[in-house]
Structure 1
Amino acid sequence: MRKLIMWNVVTLDGYFEGEKNWDLSFHGLVWGNELEEFSLTQLKSADMLVFGATTYKGMAEYWIKAEEEKTEGEVTKFMNEIQKVVCSSTLKTADWNNTTIVRDAAVEISKLKQQGDGDMFVFGSANLSGSLLKADLFDEIRLCIAPTFLGKGKRLFEEGIPNKKLKLLESRPLTTGGLLIHYAPD
């Protein structure tokens, strides 16, 4: 059975994005060799990535361009070749390599978890992550805390997330000042 894992970089005050879509400038505060190595390890354990429509569109644009321009190295190959699922009730087409559109995220992701043994990662996708949290589908939550306060932007966890106790699986400081934390439902 696949594990469904949330992965995000967030600020200390809980934002995963600035005021504008794709304002991820705070990622530069934590990015370095350690986080790059961690990202590659995660991708190598995955056999599927899951996105909401907005994140999917931005990631597809970025990684397709990275492949054309031969940037981002080894990560580019993984991102463009891995199986991807975009959860959207409105998206008509998904042109990024190896992508399937699903309409009912909770139902379809639950089925997909039963069909493989690699990890499934949800990157970004706050609205989708909230829905999957409410459906109790995450097996693990992995965050990198960036040592900054944004003060405004888009929070990863909005109101309405169910009360749930978590157990700490790992915490690891990065030399950049970031902190990796991994939790699982208790």
Structure 2
Amino acid sequence: MARLVMWNMMTLDGMVAGASGDISWHEDVWGPELERFSEAQLQEAGGLLFGRVTYDLMAGYWPTQQGVIAEFMNAIPKYVASRKLSDLAWSNAHLLGQQPAAEVDRLKKATAKQLFLFGSADFAATLMTHDLIDEYRIAINPRVLGGGAPLFKPGQAKKLRLIDSRALSSGVVIVRFVPAREG
């Protein structure tokens, strides 16, 4: 059975995107170290999950790129939660049905390697509600946006336990949490 790992970059004030979906601040910290980390974690992946907005961004970028990460992103199975899309043009992409949480649960049971949820804060909120996220990997960017789209939605409480943290030379701190066992 696969584990579901949520992988996101957020700002120090908890935003995954700024005004109008701006994520240009990712470029402030992207470099060889974060690229190596990304390549290493992709080796663990058996599939990727996206919400519609993140899917649109990824599908508009990766098919025209080259290199190790691009080859991986274009080949791996991708699963998309969307009420608006009816057709996916990106290679090996599949729409999740009307019950995306139930389908993710089924995918976890049917997949040997880990599933990764990239970006997709709204979809992550749905999966959190159903206790389907097994690990939260977050790259904390040393930037404060002062507003935008938060990673965690108001009213969603979850107790987590830190299992690892690592600072990169760019100033990013990668933290890894798992749900805390109650009791």
Q: What TM-score results when the alignment is normalised by the length of structure 2?
A: 0.95
User: Take 1:97 and 1:59, find their aligned partners in 2: how far apart are those partners?
Assistant: 12
Structure 2 SS opposite 1:151:
coil
Q: What is the RMSD computed on CA atoms of the aligned residues?
A: 1.0
Q: 2:170 aligns with which of 166, 171, 176?
A: 176
Alignment partner, residue 154 of structure 1: 149
Structure 1 residues 1-56: Cα deviation after superposition (integer angstroms, max 9, x where no partner): 001010011000001111012x1121122212111011001111101000011111
Q: Is the 8 A contact 1:9 1:143 kept in 2?
A: yes
Counterparts of 2:143 and 2:15, CA distance in 1? 10
* Alignment partners' CA distance in 2, 1:32 and 1:49: 22
Say if 1:16 and 1:156, in contact at 8 Å, map to a contact too.
Answer: yes
* Paired position in structure 2 for 1:10: 10
Equivalent position to 1:102, from 96, 99, 116:
96
- Give the 4+ runs in structure 1 shifted more than 2 A: none
Counterpart for residue 47 of structure 1: 46
8 Å Cα contact 1:81/1:98 also seen in 2: yes
SS at match of 1:168: strand
CA contact (8 A) 1:17 1:24 kept: yes
Alpha-carbon distance in structure 1 between the residues aligned to 2:20 and 2:112: 36
SS of the residue corresponding to residue 183 of structure 1 reads: strand
Cα separation, 1, equivalents of 2:57 and 2:171: 27
Counterpart code for 2:125: G
Equivalent residue in structure 2 for 1:164, among 147, 158, 163: 158
1:145 aligns with 2:140: yes
Q: For residues 61 and 6 of structure 2, what CA distance do their matches in structure 1 show?
A: 20
Q: Please state whether the residue corresponding to 2:110 is helix, strand or coil.
A: coil
Partner of 1:19: 19
* Counterpart Cα distance in 1 of 2:158 and 2:40: 28
- C-alpha displacement of 1:95: 1.1
Structure 1 unaligned blocks of 5 or more = none
Give the count of matched residue pairs. 179
> 1:173 Cα shift?
0.5
Whichever residue aligns with residue 149 of structure 1, its letter is: V
TM-score, normalising length from structure 1?
0.93
**Secondary structure at 1:31's aligned position in 2?**
coil
Amino acid at match of 1:38: F
What is the aligned partner in structure 1 of residue 74 from structure 2? 80
Kept in 2: contact 1:29–1:178 (CA 8 A): no
Q: Which runs of 5+ in 2 are unaligned?
A: none
Q: Distance in 2 between matches of 1:142 and 1:30?
A: 16
Shift of 1:89: 2.3
